[in-house]
Amino acid sequence: MKKKIGIKEEYIFSVFVCLIFAFGMYSLVKEPSLTSIAENRSLTQFKHFTVGGFLGGKFQDSFEDALADQFPKSEYIRVKYGEIVNNLSTFGFNRLICRNRYIYLSGWNSTNTMFNCDDYIISPPMNIDPKQKDQLESGILDDFIDYFSYANEAADTYYYFIDEAQTFNFETSKKVIDLKEVLKEKLHGKYVLSSLQYNDYEDQKKYFYKTDHHWNYIGSYQGYRDIANMFGVEPIEPIGVVTNHEHFFGSKARDSQKYDFREEFAVYEFSIPEHDTFINGKLGQYGHYQDFAKHNYQYKRDTNYYGWVYGGDPGELLFDFSQPNKENLLIVSNSFSNPINVLVAQHFNKTYIVDPRNYKNELGKAFCLSEYIKDNKIDKVLFIISPRFLYDQKAIQGLEN
């Protein structure tokens, strides 16, 4: 039976058709800007609307590019265009309009997109000028490389790299910047480097949340397995999966107030040996996994369950498994390490996890990498790195030798 189209749906569709027609007519009568003196480049021109161009996607591509070049407040118009597209699923037209394309989401945070009209919120690919790409790739690691190289000399050092959506262009299935390769080229000394296998949009959907920039329980467990393989230890297997069966709204959904994108929050269940946990030097509890598993909490839509369940980002975290026959490990990372901190730590005697962004504020003293390695008799250092880590100036704080 054919679904009846309501008045609201007819209105949305009519507005969209009128918008396309209006801009098509406008492109015929308006004297377009041909070049940008400030940027010294040619500007994209509006193309005439054709059915073939619309169905093939070429019209939509040129339409958004021309909007960006020809109209004031083009970002606002582009977001409204995305908002209209978001409402076209009723007619089945959304697949034609954004097939293999990014669509910007409405809301105050217009840096979020969806791809293929799937219900995933992702960052768009980084906009990198090809002429400046080499310079950008070189400059990204300049502030870090000396600190990394020192660690390579002071201890057995390991790097685990996690790509994120903004380093890929899913339309072309190519990386816009390969930070892992840049890291390999710049590092010197003895080290081991591995990364999350991330090659396309299907990997994005497999390893990352729909509404959050972090990796999900499948992605983080894969990361743990990869790291265990670097250390030459046997990873433990999960004994089950726990989920809240309630709507989870990750950082991207909360930041842009897009609560029509939702998912369940699930975590793997593990059997972890007894150990002591110290948060910023004090004995404490890291995370609320047991409360989550027993549903011992009051659900709130805007809660950051990733941080609440897995433990957040203290300046210093210490897991002491009292295994003196094993080595001491230092992990330097941002919030990507939260789900796997204790999984990795169980393979060592003492594991220190430092988040350079928060160390000084929370411990009241500067973090010095060289002194920290010596004072805590660190045998191995693990850097868990994402593009977000490398672009965050706060992550450099305290890595001075």
Domain assignment of residue 112, yes or no: no
Domain boundary among 76, 99, 122: 99
Collect all residues with Cβ–Cβ distance below 8 Å to 394 and sequence separation of at least 6.
356, 357
Residue 177: domain span: 131-396
CA 380 to chain CA centroid, nearest Å: 27
Summarize the confidence of residues 264-293 as an average pLDDT. Answer: 96
Domain assignment of residue 26, yes or no: yes
Identify whether the C-beta of residue 338 lies closer than 8 Å to the C-beta of residue 345: no
Closest CA to 321 of 362, 256, 363, 274: 274
More confident site: 214 or 39 = 214
For the stretch 158-202, pLDDT in tens is: 999 999 999 999 999 999 888 888 888 888 889 999 999 888 999
pLDDT interval class at 7 (50, 70, 90): very low
pLDDT at residue number 37: 39
% of the chain at pLDDT higher than 70: 69
7, exposed or middle or buried, with CB in 10 Å at 0-12, 13-18, 19+? exposed
- Is the pLDDT at 138 greater than 80? The verdict is no
Q: Are residues 79 and 138 in the same domain?
A: no
Q: Are residues 253 and 328 in the same domain?
A: yes
Biggest CA pair distance of the chain: 80
Domain boundary among 48, 79, 99: 99
Summarize the confidence of residues 117-137 as an average pLDDT. Answer: 77
pLDDT at residue number 260: 87
> Number of folded domains in the chain?
2
Closest CA to 344 of 359, 358, 328: 328
Summarize the confidence of residues 1-25 as an average pLDDT. Answer: 49
Q: Are residues 238 and 349 in the same domain?
A: yes
- Is the pLDDT at 36 greater than 50? The verdict is no
Q: Are residues 198 and 326 in the same domain?
A: yes
Collect all residues with Cβ–Cβ distance below 8 Å to 1 and sequence separation of at least 6.
none
Domain assignment of residue 108, yes or no: no
DSSP line for 158-227: EEEE---GGGEETTTTEES--HHHHHHHH--SSEEEEE----SHHHHHHHB-SSSSSB-HHHHHHHHHHH
Q: Are residues 139 and 14 in the same domain?
A: no
pLDDT at residue number 38: 36
For the stretch 216-263, pLDDT in tens is: 999 999 999 999 999 999 999 999 999 988 999 999 999 888 888 889
Q: Are residues 149 and 237 in the same domain?
A: yes
pLDDT at residue number 90: 44
Task: Using the Cα atoms of residue 95, residue 256, residue 287 and residue 243 in order, give the sign of their dihedral.
Answer: negative
Q: Are residues 326 and 221 in the same domain?
A: yes
Could you give the CA distance from residue 22 to residue 80 in angstroms, rounded to a whole number? 15
Domain boundary among 99, 115, 148: 99
Least confident of 35-44, 200-209, 379-388, 392-401: 35-44
Domain assignment of residue 2, yes or no: no
Domain assignment of residue 105, yes or no: no
Instruction: Give φ, ψ of 238 to 5 degrees.
Output: -70, 150
Q: Are residues 17 and 91 in the same domain?
A: yes
Q: Are residues 95 and 139 in the same domain?
A: no
Could you give the CA distance from residue 322 to residue 302 in angstroms, rounded to a whole number? 38
Q: Are residues 221 and 76 in the same domain?
A: no
Domain assignment of residue 401, yes or no: no
Could you give the CA distance from residue 245 to residue 88 in angstroms, rounded to a whole number? 28
Domain assignment of residue 126, yes or no: no
Q: Are residues 45 and 93 in the same domain?
A: yes
Domain assignment of residue 110, yes or no: no
Q: Are residues 251 and 304 in the same domain?
A: yes
